[in-house]
Amino acid sequence: MTVDEPLLVKVRKLLAKAEATKNSHEADAFAAKAAALIAAHRIDAARLAAAGRTEALGIRSVVVGRGAYVRARLALLAAVAGSHDCELVWVSSTEGAVAKLAGFMSDLDATVVLYESLHLQAASRMGAVRRATPAATQRWRRAFLFGYAARVREILGEARRDVEEHTPTPSGTTLPDLPGRVAQVSEFAKTAFGRVVPASRPAAAVAGGWQRGHREASSADVGRARLAARPQLGRG
């Protein structure tokens, strides 16, 4: 079971409007509607599974890379993964940091699509900012991405709660057992990940950059699969 392409088409159209408007309130509304579509899709997927259609659990790897922005990238990925009930750990490799995601395959698909798009969009906004020195620029951009991740978590969480509260159910039935799915992912992750140790806390973020990133995420496109024309930030 994977994310339906027609769903992604609808989401991309909504979020193209979010990107096009300069009104932050309109952008927030478009982004929330797109996130709500994805949240509703997850409920539909859970209903199918409850009706007997098997949905597989799996692991997905996402290369996060090296440099000053690694922990902020992980924060963004964790924000998206958490909204889709996926669990995340990360390991060091020859490619740099690699995130390991555990979850149902449809949720993993959505998580990777959203993260890759959001990272490209954040990079576009961050890349336009310069400070007095290269080091100051790097600190500001890193803080921006942490703030951006925090706002993405809020948008996706708000949309999910709203959908779960207002999704109609057939007479005599209830919503799918979403907490039960979370428990299944947790049990699967314990076996799949093996021994996990806590990472050290990331360094504090620059307040101004964090606030700017938090604000700019309101107009983020959270559903576009690829924005090839937008540059991705380098290793630091």
Question: Is 229 part of a structural domain of the chain?
Answer: no
Q: Does a structural domain hold residue 208?
A: yes
Instruction: Provide the pLDDT for residue 131.
Output: 86
pLDDT, block means (10 residues), the chain with 236 residues: 61 70 71 73 61 75 92 94 92 91 86 80 80 88 90 83 69 61 91 80 67 65 39 42
pLDDT in tens, 55-80: 789 999 999 999 889 999 999 999 99
Q: Which residue range forms the structural domain that includes residue 104?
A: 5-219
| pTM assigned to the model | 0.70
Q: How far apart are CA 192 and CA 180, in angstroms?
A: 18
Could you tell me if residue 179 is inside a domain? yes
Rounded Cα distance, 154 and 158, in Å: 6
Q: Return the pLDDT at 138.
A: 87
Please tell me the predicted confidence (pLDDT) of residue 228: 35
Is residue 61, in this structure, part of any structural domain at all? Answer: yes
Does a structural domain hold residue 227? no
DSSP notation for the chain: ----HHHHHHHHHHHHHHHH---HHHHHHHHHHHHHHHHHHHHHHHHHHHTT----EEEEEEEEESSTTHHHHHHHHHHHHHHTT-EEEEEEETTEEEEEEEEEHHHHHHHHHHHHHHHHHHHHHHHT---SSHHHHHHHHHHHHHHHHHHHHHHHHHHHHHHHHH----TT-----HHHHHHHHHHHHHHHH-S--PPPPPPPPPHHHHHHHHHHGGG--SS-S--TTSPPP---
pLDDT of residue 219: 54
* 93 occurs within a structural domain: yes
- Does residue 233 lie in a domain region? no
Give how many domains the chain has, as a whole number. Answer: 1
Write down the pLDDT at residue 3.
52
